Amino acid sequence: MINFNVPPFTGKEFEYMRQAVENEKICGDGPFTKKCSEWIEAQTGTVKCLLTTSCTHATELAALLADIKPGDEVIMPSYTFVSTANAFVLRGATPVFVDIRPDTMNMDEKLVEDAITERTRAIAPVHYAGVGCEMDTIMDIAKRHHLMVIEDAAQGIMASYKGKPLGTFGEFGCFSFHETKNFSMGEGGALLIRDEADILRAEIFREKGTDRSQYFRGQVDKYRWQDFGSSYLPSDMNAAYLYAQLELAEEITKARMDRWEEYREMLSPLAEAGRIELPYIPEECTHNAHMFYIKTKDMEERSRLIAFLKEKEILSVFHYVPLHSAPAGQKYGRFHGEDRYTTKESERILRLPMFYKLTADQVAYIADQVKAFYA
Ligand SMILES: *Cc1c(COP(=O)(O)O)cnc(C)c1O
């Protein structure tokens, strides 16, 4: 059976986790957390990276830092994971969904401005499949309307738009290191902070509302309750697992990109014959092969293809029931404008196996089976 996902593992993880245990520092913000944060800061050129327990929590932190309040509105796509919306709903805000572009499945930047009201406080673009949103346009709109930008870059590590890493455009960017992502620590994430002025508050929110981070740096002689907050810092054992992959980030990304290109090459005859559609990567974007998807004619064809592949021992999946059509989306959010593509395209998308140790032979086999289905 070819699984849809296998968590990334390089071989170095056990050694680093053993070191974390031997350091007798298995709580948060130990040596491996520091190494991971510094690696991400260097790789992205961001002022500050705080490792978190998930991308969900990084986004919640961003919503706290952005002072999102009840009645505020945040513009985002409906075609995304629930966490993009939940972070703001937890603060009493309303997610305002706009339609996606069918080519990249990203929020259609041309629809954002029309969704702005007096209550709009932020835009939350999601870089689907590690392919950047049209950030020039989005940042320009944000600037003109004095809105914050909080990027859901859960899938975006090692990817960029016009050479600038995803997650570094807005005030805050959020990465995920869930086991389904390119690099993993089981459960985990990171908050990227653009402006120096936000760092101290972020550290306090992340450390139960205390200035313990400053205390550990010797900047204050005792730590105290400074503000509201929660516990968003991961164990150093998890950071140790992640660090093994960050060290091999180029190699892992290259392996994924190679498989991605093989899929594209082998499936392009089907696309040229008009049977399926393949991912589109805008010229401005360098992606990270987070996922390889195809689009079938419709939902019915997709269901048949999933079943066909399963018989051939290949697990393929789809995802994201559009948030505006889900019970909580109806309760807490609203869709602005017409749903031309969100629902229709979400019903056609099919994700093929993609993970670090996927082999070229496996990709060839999977592509052959997809072709056999359409033959
Ligand atoms: C994976 C993912 C998340 C959630 O990440 P966690 O680390 O599991 O909280 C959020 N948004 C998007 C787009 C994702 O793909």
Among 211, 227, 246, which residue terminates a domain? 246
Specify the pLDDT at position 25: 86
In a domain, 6, yes or no: no
- Any long-range contacts for 8-14 (C-beta under 8 Å, 24+ apart)? 8/179, 8/182, 8/183, 8/184, 8/245, 8/252, 8/355, 8/356, 8/357, 9/356, 9/357, 10/244, 10/245, 10/247, 10/248, 10/252, 11/244, 12/244, 12/247, 12/248, 13/240, 13/241, 13/244, 13/245
- Residue 246's pLDDT band, with cuts at 50, 70 and 90, is very high
Counting Cα atoms < 13 Å in the Cβ hemisphere of 289 gives: 21
Query: Based on the domain organization, do 361 and 286 belong to the same domain?
Result: yes
Query: Based on the domain organization, do 186 and 86 belong to the same domain?
Result: yes
Among 246, 275, 297, which residue terminates a domain? 246
Among 219, 246, 273, which residue terminates a domain? 246
- Domain count for the chain, please give it: 2
332-347: average pLDDT = 98
Is 52 close to ligand 1, i.e. is its CB under 6 Å away? no
> What's the chain's average pLDDT?
98
Query: Based on the domain organization, do 254 and 236 belong to the same domain?
Result: no
Residue 123 belongs to domain spanning: 13-246
Chain segment 48-64, per-residue pLDDT in tens: 999 999 999 999 999 99
Query: Based on the domain organization, do 43 and 145 belong to the same domain?
Result: yes
Question: Which ligand 1 atom is the nearest neighbour of the CA of 155?
Answer: 15
Query: Based on the domain organization, do 192 and 313 belong to the same domain?
Result: no
Specify the pLDDT at position 63: 98
Query: Based on the domain organization, do 204 and 349 belong to the same domain?
Result: no
Q: What is the CATH number of the domain that holds 311?
A: 3.90.1150.10
In a domain, 7, yes or no: no
Q: What is the CATH number of the domain that holds 219?
A: 3.40.640.10
Chain segment 141-183, per-residue pLDDT in tens: 999 999 999 999 999 999 999 999 999 999 999 999 999 999 9
229-251: average pLDDT = 98
**What's at 184, amino acid-wise?**
S
In a domain, 191, yes or no: yes
Percent of all residues in the chain with a pLDDT value above 70, rounded to a whole number: 100
Is 152 close to ligand 1, i.e. is its CB under 6 Å away? yes
Is 178 close to ligand 1, i.e. is its CB under 6 Å away? yes
Specify the pLDDT at position 230: 97
Query: Based on the domain organization, do 171 and 284 belong to the same domain?
Result: no
- Residue 277's pLDDT band, with cuts at 50, 70 and 90, is very high
Chain segment 3-26, per-residue pLDDT in tens: 999 999 999 999 999 999 999 989
Residue 226 has pLDDT above 90, yes or no: yes
Is 154 close to ligand 1, i.e. is its CB under 6 Å away? yes
Residue 249 has pLDDT above 90, yes or no: yes
Q: How far apart are CA 315 and CA 307, in angstroms?
A: 9
120-139: average pLDDT = 98
Query: Based on the domain organization, do 270 and 159 belong to the same domain?
Result: no
Query: Based on the domain organization, do 270 and 181 belong to the same domain?
Result: no
In a domain, 314, yes or no: yes
343-349: average pLDDT = 98
How many angstroms separate the alpha carbon of residue 257 from the centre of ligand 1?
21
In a domain, 4, yes or no: no
345-370: average pLDDT = 98
Specify the pLDDT at position 229: 97
In a domain, 5, yes or no: no
Chain segment 90-112, per-residue pLDDT in tens: 999 999 999 999 999 999 999 99
